[in-house]
Structures are given as C-alpha cells and as structure tokens.
C-alpha cells in the first residue's frame, strides 16, 4: 500500500519538476519581448510627492465559531 | 454641483447618513464610518483632475541641398523599405527582408534626424555575439547552429522618436490591514479599510519608440537601453558604410506606445510608496503629461537575417552597447528528451523520499 502511495506522490511531484525545468530551458530561447515600462527613463531625483495621505475609513470584524471537540461517549 | 456618492469599502453598497447615531452607515453590512474620515476623503477626491496625455507639436528640421547631395536612396520593391546611405556606400540587399534593392532617381527626404548615436561595434562583433547567443541553449536544434549561415549582416541606423515628458499624477488606492486572533469559542478577523491618496510628479527622458514599420517593435524594445549621453548632432558622414532607414511611422502614431510606458511606470512608482498594508488595490489613477516634447534620432543596430526550415529568423545587436537579442527555434525532440530525463531523476528521488516517510509512520 505504501509503495502505491509513494509511486503516485512521486509521479505528481516529478511531473511538476520536469515541467518547471523544461519551461526554464524553453524560456532561454526567447529574448525578444515588448517593453511596457519606462522605469529606466525616469530622470534621477525628479520624483516628488506633494500629497501623501493614509485615511482610515472603517473596520469590520468577522467572527467564526470554533469547532467543538466531540464529547466522548461513556460505555456503561 | 454633482453629489458625491460614497461606496462602502467592505461590501460596495452605497452608504448613507444615519441620524440616530450621527454617523454615515452602510445599510447593507451595518459598517459605521467616522465623519472626519469621510470629510478627509471628500477633500482628497475633490482635488483629483481628469487624465490627460497630450503632446506638443514638433516641427523638426528639413534636409538641406548640401545634406542630400552626399546621399543615395534605395527602394525595396518587396517590403517597401526606403533606405538611405552615404553616396560612397554600395547597397544591394534590403536589410529587412533580404531582397534586392534598387537605387532611386531622386532622394525625397522626410525630416532630417536631430541626433544620431554612431556605431561603436563592428560587423565581426555582431557575428561573435551571434555565436555566443547560441551557446548554452539546450533546446536549440543542433542543425540550426551548425548548418546555419547568416544570409545578411547589415549595420542599420533605425529611426526612433525620443519622448521627453513630465508627469503629474493623482493616485487613489483602497488598502486593508488584517489582524487575526481567537479566544476559547471564536476566531476573529478584523479588517481595517484605508483610502490612500498620493499626488506628485516625475519626469521621463529619452523614451525611445521606433519609427520604422519594417522593424519588429518587440525586437527594437528588447535592444534598449542606449546611452544617450553619447548622441551627436546628425551629419551625413556618419552614414558612410551603413544603411539608414527613413521613418514611416510618425511621432503622432508612435506616441501611444510612449504614453503606455509612461503611464505604467508612473503608476508603479507611486504604488511603491504605499507600504505596510496587507492588500492594496488601485481605485483611481489620473496621470497628466506636461512639457511633452520629442525628437527624431537614428540609433545603430546590427541586423542579422537567416532562414531555416522555411522560417525567417531576425537577430539584432545594439550597435552601441553590444546587447544581442533574437528568438531561437526549439527542437521538440530535445524538449521531450529533457522532459523525460528530468522526470525520471525527479521520480527516483521523490519515490525514495516518499517511501521512507510513509514507512516511518
């Protein structure tokens, strides 16, 4: 029983590892991508904040009952 | 004056004033709101201005008769490219599609470039960079790197628009802090809701957008960055030995791509100042450009073309920095070979560990 369980667990984990590693190898072949950011073109020292407010609006408390331990049945 | 509608951050319902408690209250989830907090929020909302992404016009420089005398223009009948070069440089093939090009009778100039970054690296450096580009790629078909001969290696000055702009932004975020605790009977989760306001400004310098339809936009983006401190005022002599494409995408057509990058980076920069919260969500982003201007420049690229298995592959090297890019084909056989190899190794290791753990219990 333990062998069958270990085989199933090992197959699932090995498939995930093999997929991740080969995806990494595939990604090595792609070096062309669209630029969507311009962070490297921000003029040094130009970023200035004129207003910085963190306004507390409200709070909400959710309460969930803990599951009660089942009472042990006493055999007479 | 438009009435401001407040939405409950907890459930999204419209909140209203409850006269019995003297506070704003959500009729849907019963959350109560402090009036001072809402007043502060109201003031912040009223300061917000509409988004604007406009650029000022550009007149550019025209070619003088002296400039045009020393230049030859070629036309590619296959892809429509119009290529210019110095009179002393012979060109026979289109750098973009590899087809023969013909010399044009008259050179009809678009705008003259404002600046140029001259080539710093030569053709041999481009070929060496290509060999290095193939190295260490396990899934690259062996035949591609061994049989591959590059059909054309061309040094091309690619037309770019460089955008400069300041950006003012008013950003508003919804953020939460979560605290959990429990007693003997219950587990509690307290969520505190915040409205975060950030306003400010920043400036962008030399955002390049290529002005050539023939050049793949993604390939050009991937060859960034350039060192614009080394840009020189344009003179025709720089074209000697190289080809230059004329822009066929106007600045007005290119501006959308610059705007998108400015907007994304502005949003990211302001978001990085919101710290100490468990969740942060952007509720409103007003980004306005100011002092926007652009200029027309030629940037140096080595373009390498090759065909393999009926597919065309284009590689590019930044002629100033040497950065080399280009997508490579994948060998499916090698992909599955590595997949099964990794699978078998991982399976053997995982099975051993899993069996040991299960038999220990």
Cα nearest neighbour of B37 on chain A: A57
Q: How many CB pairs (< 8 A) connect A and B? A: 227
Mean pLDDT on B225-245:
87
B298, β-bridge pairs: B116, B159
Put simply, the answer to whether A53 touches B202 (Cβ < 8 Å) is no
A50 assigned to some structural domain: no
Put simply, the answer to whether A7 touches B207 (Cβ < 8 Å) is no
A58, β-bridge pairs: B193
Put simply, the answer to whether B191 touches A10 (Cβ < 8 Å) is no
Model-level ipTM above the cut of 0.85: no
A52 assigned to some structural domain: no
Mean pLDDT on B43-53:
68
Coil, strand or helix at A40: helix
Q: Chain B partners of A11 at a C-beta cutoff of 8 Å? A: 347
Per-residue pLDDT reduced to its tens digit, A22-67: 999 999 999 999 999 999 999 999 999 999 999 998 888 999 998 8
Residues B34 and A48: beta-carbon distance below 8 Å: no
Distance from CA of B271 to the nearest CA of A (A): 12
A58 assigned to some structural domain: no
Distance from CA of A27 to the nearest CA of B (A): 10
Number of domains chain A is built from: 1
H helices of B168-290, in order, are 217-222, 251-271
Distance from CA of B41 to the nearest CA of A (A): 7
What domain range is A6 assigned to? 1-28
Between residues B296 and A68, which one has the greater pLDDT? Answer: B296
Q: Hey, which bits of chain B come out as E strands? A: 16-18, 23-25, 32-33, 61-62, 71-76, 82-86, 101-103, 111-112, 115-116, 152-182, 186-210, 232-233, 243-245, 279-308, 311-318, 324-325
Q: Chain B partners of A37 at a C-beta cutoff of 8 Å? A: 261, 264-265, 268
For residue B227, give every residue at least 6 positions away whose Cβ sits within 8 Å of its Cβ, in sequence order, or none.
Answer: B117, B320, B321
Instruction: Out of B18-32, B57-71, B315-329, pick the least confident.
Output: B57-71
The predicted structure's pLDDT at residue B4: 59
Residue B57 has pLDDT above 70, yes or no: no
Q: Which of A17, A36, A57 sits opposite B260 (nearest CB)?
A: A36
Residue from B157, B154, B158, B159 nearest B93 by CA:
B154
Coil, strand or helix at B74: strand
- From residue B243, alpha-carbon distances to B160, B183, B225, B298, B299 in Å are 15, 76, 21, 11, 11
Cis bond leading into B66, ω under 30°? no
Nearest-Å Rg of the Cα atoms of chain A is 28
- C-alpha A69/C-alpha A37 separation (Å) is 55
Put simply, the answer to whether A60 touches B343 (Cβ < 8 Å) is no
């Amino acid at each position: 029983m333990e062998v069958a369980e270990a085989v199933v667990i090992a197959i699932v984990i090995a498939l995930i590892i093999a997929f991740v590693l080969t995806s990494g190898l595939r990604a090595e072949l792609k070096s062309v991508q669209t630029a969507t950011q311009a962070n490297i073109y921000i003029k040094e020292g130009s970023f200035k904040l004129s207003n910085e407010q963190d306004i507390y609006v409200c709070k909400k408390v959710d309460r969930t009952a803990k599951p009660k331990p089942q009472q042990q049945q006493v055999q007479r | 004056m438009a009435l401001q509608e407040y939405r409950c951050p907890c459930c999204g319902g419209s909140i209203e004033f409850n006269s019995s408690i003297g506070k704003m209250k959500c009729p849907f989830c019963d959350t109560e709101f402090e009036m001072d907090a809402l007043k502060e929020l109201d003031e912040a909302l009223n300061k917000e201005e509409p988004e604007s992404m406009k650029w000022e016009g550009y007149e550019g420089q025209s070619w003088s008769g002296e400039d045009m005398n020393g230049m030859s223009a070629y036309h590619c009948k296959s892809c429509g490219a119009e290529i210019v070069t110095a009179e002393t440089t012979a060109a026979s093939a289109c750098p973009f599609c590899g087809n023969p090009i013909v010399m044009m009778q008259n050179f009809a100039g678009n705008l003259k470039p404002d600046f140029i970054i001259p080539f710093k690296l030569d053709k041999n450096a481009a070929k060496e960079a290509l060999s290095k580009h193939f190295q260490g790629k396990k899934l690259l078909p062996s035949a591609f790197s061994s049989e591959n001969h590059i059909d054309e290696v061309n040094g091309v000055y690619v037309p770019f628009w460089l955008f400069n702009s300041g950006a003012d932004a008013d950003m508003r975020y919804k953020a939460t802090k979560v605290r959990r605790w429990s007693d003997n009977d219950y587990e509690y989760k307290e969520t505190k809701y915040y409205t975060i306001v950030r306003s400010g400004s920043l400036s962008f310098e030399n955002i390049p957008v290529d002005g050539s339809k023939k050049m793949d936009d993604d390939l050009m983006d991937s060859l960034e960055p350039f060192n614009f401190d080394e840009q020189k005022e344009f003179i025709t002599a720089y074209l000697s030995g190289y080809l230059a494409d004329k822009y066929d995408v106007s600045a007005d057509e290119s501006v959308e791509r610059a705007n998108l990058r400015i907007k994304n980076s502005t949003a990211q920069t302001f978001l990085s100042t919101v710290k100490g919260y468990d969740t942060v969500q952007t509720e409103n982003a007003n980004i306005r450009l100011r002092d926007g201007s652009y200029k027309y420049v030629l940037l140096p690229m080595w373009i390498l073309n090759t065909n393999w298995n009926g597919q065309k592959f284009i590689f590019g090297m930044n002629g100033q920095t040497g950065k080399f890019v280009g997508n490579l084909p994948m060998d499916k056989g090698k992909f599955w070979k590595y997949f099964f190899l990794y699978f078998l190794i991982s399976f053997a290791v995982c099975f051993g560990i899993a069996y040991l753990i299960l038999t220990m219990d």
